[in-house]
């Protein structure tokens, strides 16, 4: 059955709702400051960020089949997880308190990548389907960061090319939080 996932910040719960009948199938407890929820590609798991005013260290993990909470993901040293995406089998999240983006691999149970934006209040996150570009809004800085996994040419003859994440920062209106990317990937629209 197709389901809808709805967070209640006040009740600290994730409601799993039948999207046809709108009947609540289950309510699962989540952390003290839930902000965003994302389901895994197979629909079996959900991940909930707990921002904690930029001071929290946890992402809740929910088993959507058994309707129960699993052990949390500890995001330390990245603090204040907020925006979240599940792409290429991994959980990508913004970390407002660390001005960063991080990635968690459920297969290994570890944070396996992070990159700082240096921008104040890195908020929402979007990841391309190949995991090669990450877009974020940086609310207080009034910017959008584009992080791109880029293949750089060999620095010297006889050496190999290397991959490096490169950031491009674009100025937008202060207070820009939400955004979306057009289906063709050519434009990003922010909302202030």
Tokens 């330390």, located at residue: 76
1 has pLDDT over 80: no
Across the range 147-174, mean pLDDT stands at 94
What residues contact residue 18 under an 8 Å CB cut-off, 6+ apart? 1, 2, 3, 4, 25
Tokens of 140: 């207080």
What whole-number distance in Å separates Cα of residue 189 and Cα of residue 131? 20
141 has pLDDT over 90: yes
Tokens of 171: 């100025």
Across the range 20-28, mean pLDDT stands at 96
What residues contact residue 73 under an 8 Å CB cut-off, 6+ apart? 47, 58, 59, 60, 61, 91, 104
Please, which pLDDT band fits residue 189 given cuts at 50, 70 and 90?
very high
Tokens of 52: 């904690």
18 has pLDDT over 90: yes
Across the range 163-190, mean pLDDT stands at 96
Q: How far is CA 78 from the centre of its chain?
A: 12
Q: 168-185 as b/e, with b when 16 or more CB fall inside 10 Å? A: eeeebeeebeebeeeeee
Tokens of 101: 């983006």
What pLDDT score does 175 carry? Answer: 95
Between residues 86 and 2, which one has the greater pLDDT?
A: 86
The candidate with the shortest Cα–Cα distance to 38, out of 102, 104, 84, is: 84
**pTM for the model:** 0.94
Please, which pLDDT band fits residue 13 given cuts at 50, 70 and 90?
very high
155 has pLDDT over 90: no
**What percentage of the chain has pLDDT greater than the value 70?**
100
What pLDDT score does 181 carry? Answer: 96
């Amino acid at each position: 059955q197709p389901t809808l996932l709805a967070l209640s910040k006040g009740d600290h719960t994730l409601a799993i709702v039948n999207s046809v009948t709108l009947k609540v199938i289950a309510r699962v407890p989540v952390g003290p400051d839930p902000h965003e929820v994302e389901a895994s590609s197979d629909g079996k798991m959900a991940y909930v960020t707990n921002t904690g005013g930029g001071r929290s260290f946890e992402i809740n993990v929910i088993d959507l089949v058994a309707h129960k909470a699993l052990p949390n993901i500890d995001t330390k040293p990245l603090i204040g997880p907020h925006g979240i995406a599940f792409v290429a089998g991994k959980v990508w999240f913004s970390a407002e308190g660390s001005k960063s983006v991080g990635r968690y691999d459920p297969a290994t149970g570890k944070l396996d990548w992070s990159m700082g934006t240096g921008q104040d209040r890195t908020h929402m996150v979007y990841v391309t389907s190949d995991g090669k570009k990450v877009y974020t809004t940086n609310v207080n800085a009034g910017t959008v960061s584009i992080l791109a996994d880029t293949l750089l040419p060999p620095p010297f003859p006889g050496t190999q090319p290397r991959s490096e994440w490169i950031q491009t920062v674009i100025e937008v209106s202060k207070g820009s939080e939400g955004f979306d990317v057009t289906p063709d990937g050519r434009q990003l629209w922010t909302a202030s």
